[in-house]
Amino acid sequence: MITKKIADNYEPDFERGEIILIDKPLRLSSFSIVYKVRKAVAVKKVGHAGTLDPMASGLMIVCTGRATKEITSMMGLNKTYTGIISLGKTTPSLDSETEFDSEKSIDDITGEKILETAGKFLGGSLQIPPMYSAVKHNGKALYKFARKGVEVERKPREIFISKFDILKIDLPDVHFEISCSSGTYIRVIADDLGKKLGCGAYLKNLRRNTIGGFDVDDAFDIKEFIAYSNKFVPVS
């Protein structure tokens, strides 16, 4: 595995296979990160162990060469996120990707009520994937239907929330940390929190901090990784 901490004393073999930790910035897609890594390492076989939305930042695990065989085992690892849920407004995408489509007063929302409601999310439950997601329907990503205003039926999935800590309340913003099972959509949790509070909410900010035992503090910025890989891969 290649991390920032060992990079200076490690010579990678991207063709044989490497696991790379990348800190994805906002507004870049997971696909674009894989494309940039593939181009930098000059290896055809490159994949990632879990999509991160363009409007989210944080940890991605990218594998090259024979290490891509490990992707399936890493896909199911638990994850930890921090972010901000903003109360009183909603969006079709459940995050900041789309414009507001409703607004309600939050005058009766208290910190005590927020803490009590967040506690109800702990444990196992069923969650319906959002329309603005990469989940496939008839071989096509749901977000492609959503952008055309088409909604399709989605099957609920089992998820597990082991932590939902409220770090700070600065209304309308609620700062949080969530630890959850793989496949959990934090945007849906934000939307459900707003529904339970009766005021609506959307996910304003999201950062993925850990995937299993992997931590974003050990990850490369994508530009840092490209500069690092150029030491070992001839620039074409």
| Enzyme catalytic residues | 53
Of 15, 20, 16, give the one whose Cα is nearest residue 33: 20
Question: Quick check: 28 and 42 in contact, CB under 8 A?
Answer: no
Question: Backbone phi, then psi, for 224, in 5-degree steps?
Answer: -65, -40
Q: Which residues contact 105 (CB under 8 A, 6 or more apart)?
A: 88, 199
Query: CA 92 to CA 84: how far, in whole Å?
Result: 17
**Among 41, 52, 49, 50, which Cα is nearest to 17's?**
41
Distance CA 142, CA 152 (A): 8
**Token pair of 147, please?**
């952008």
